[in-house]
Structure formats: C-alpha cells, structure tokens
Amino acid sequence: MAEVVDQTNLSDEEVARLYQIAAPITAVTTNASTIQITWAGNDAVLLFGRPQPLLLPDGGMPPFQRTEFTAIIHMSQQSLKDFSLVVANAIANYEARFGEIVTEFSRRSSDSQ
C-alpha cells in the first residue's frame, strides 16, 4: 500500500517530484449491467457482468442469455460496508441534483417494502 505523505511542509518542487515518481495506476475499463454479491468465507465477492446473447445450432435464440463476467472483486465485509456507504452517498448527491434514478430493480424493491 502506498504511504500517505503530508505535503503541507513540502516545497512546490518536492511535490512535483512526488508526482513524477508515482507509478501510474493501470486498470482495465469494462462495462457491466449486472451485479451479483456472494460470500466466500470472510470475503464478499462482487461479480460484475453483462448479458451475452446465445445462438442455438438452428440459428434461433433461446429464451435466456448467458452472463459474461467482466470483473470479479473480492473485499472484506468491512470494506463492502464502506463501499456501500460511499455509493449510497454518491447516488444521493446525483439524485439531489438531477432527480431520482428509477430502475426495474429499485421499483420492485420499493414496492415490496
């Protein structure tokens, strides 16, 4: 894990050097429209995926799709709790600015309560 550096007592030149030696963050960007959460021991496993249409041998399409997982993230229950709070706050801020986000899932969830 990277060390947090207090930059308040550093010169502008020293701060510039810090950013020059920092390793770039590399991550694969992917799209996902589905999420599943499972528990594996003490870890939560977040499975992000997208639907993948299937084709039958006769050229027809079955009445279901396969999920292609594009990202699998393991995190502790504590990290998942923190993540949920950060996401909830981000969504609340977005909705306060642009209006409520309504999805089929959120509609069903609010109907069942």
88 DSSP assignment: H
d(CA 106, CA 102): 6
Cβ contacts of residue 91 below 8 Å, gap of 6+?
101
pLDDT, position 19: 64
Per-domain boundaries in the chain: 12-111
Q: Give the tens place of pLDDT for each residue, 61-79.
A: 888 888 899 999 999 999 9
Tell me the pLDDT band of 4, cut-offs 50, 70 and 90: low
Nearest to 66 by CA among 81, 56, 79, 76: 56
pTM metric for this prediction:
0.61
Q: Which residues contact 30 (CB under 8 A, 6 or more apart)?
A: 48, 70, 71
Q: What is the pLDDT of residues 40-66, one digit of tens each?
A: 888 999 999 998 888 889 988 888 888
